[in-house]
């Protein structure tokens, strides 16, 4: 079976299940998205790694990464390989001294580890066919313009786009200290957008 590489597109509150989050994975060379509902602890673990934060004490996923590093085990890739009764299953593909080993893991934990090791996340066509959502450019631009309009209505036109760079960076630091990862992600996206425009 052909492996399809995925990127983390979004991390947000789940619309369907309160007290849970959704991580949205996007097909790297396509227009399908794979939303996966995860718990708040796993969402925090993913957000902390994506923001390159260093907690005072290692989180569980940091501890596991440190353990693998100590024993010269490298996480090569994560494969979301099964979907059964609405539950995703994943495997960690690790390498030690040239030998590959596969370890069964929860998908949310696998993603948290992939971010820490900066390794690729894969799945298969049959999983994207069963649980993926097609997301074409017209829907994307329409959704972005609607979202922008909602933000402007909500804040009376005072969006992140109007805030100076230095203030935006200070807001990002404050959001991370307060563990408001959803707000931090939005601020980070605006900072990254500006970097792309400037380059």
One digit per residue, the tens of pLDDT, for the chain of length 199 reads 889 999 999 888 765 566 688 899 999 988 999 999 898 889 989 998 998 888 888 889 999 999 999 999 999 999 999 999 889 999 999 999 999 999 999 999 999 999 999 999 999 999 999 998 887 643 444 444 444 444 433 333 347 787 888 887 778 777 666 656 667 667 777 777 777 777 6
pLDDT for res 15: 57
Task: Identify the helix (H) or strand (E) that includes residue 37.
Answer: strand 32-38
Residues 125-147, buried b or exposed e (16+ Cβ, 10 A)?
eebbeebbeebeeeeeeeeeeee
Task: Identify the helix (H) or strand (E) that includes residue 43.
Answer: helix 40-50
Task: Identify the helix (H) or strand (E) that includes residue 104.
Answer: strand 99-106
Output the CA–CA distances (angstroms, integers) from residue 65 to 6, 39, 69, 139, 164, in the order listed. 21, 20, 6, 38, 37
pLDDT for res 105: 96
Q: Quick one: CA torsion of 125, 131, 132, 138, rounded to 10 degrees? A: 140
For 3-134, which CATH class? alpha beta
pLDDT for res 107: 96
Alpha-carbon distance of 123 to 142, in angstroms, equals 28
Residues 17-42, buried b or exposed e (16+ Cβ, 10 A)?
eeeebbbbbbbeeeebbbbbbbeeeb
Enumerate the domain spans of the chain.
Answer: 3-134, 144-198
Give the global pTM.
Answer: 0.67
Phi, psi of 96 (to 5 degrees): -140, 120
pLDDT for res 151: 42
Alpha-carbon distance of 154 to 14, in angstroms, equals 20
CB 42 within 8 A of CB 59: no
């Amino acid at each position: 079976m052909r492996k399809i590489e995925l990127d983390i597109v979004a991390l947000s509150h789940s619309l369907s299940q309160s007290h849970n989050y959704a991580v949205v994975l996007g097909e790297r060379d396509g227009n399908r998205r794979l939303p996966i509902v995860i718990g708040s602890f796993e969402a925090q673990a993913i957000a902390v790694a994506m923001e390159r934060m260093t907690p005072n004490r290692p989180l569980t996923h940091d501890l596991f990464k440190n353990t693998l590093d100590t024993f010269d085990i490298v996480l090569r890739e994560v494969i979301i390989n099964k979907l059964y009764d609405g539950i995703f299953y994943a495997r960690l593909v690790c390498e030690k001294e040239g030998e590959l080993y596969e370890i069964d893991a929860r998908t949310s934990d696998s993603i948290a580890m992939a971010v820490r090791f900066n390794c690729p996340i894969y799945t298969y066509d049959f999983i994207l066919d069963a649980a993926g959502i097609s997301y074409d450019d017209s829907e994307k631009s329409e959704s972005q313009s609607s979202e922008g309009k909602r933000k402007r209505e909500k804040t009376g036109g005072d969006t992140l786009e109007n805030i100076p760079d230095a203030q935006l960076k200070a807001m990002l630091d404050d959001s991370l200290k307060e563990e408001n990862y959803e707000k931090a992600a939005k601020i980070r996206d605006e900072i990254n957008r500006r970097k792309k425009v400037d380059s």
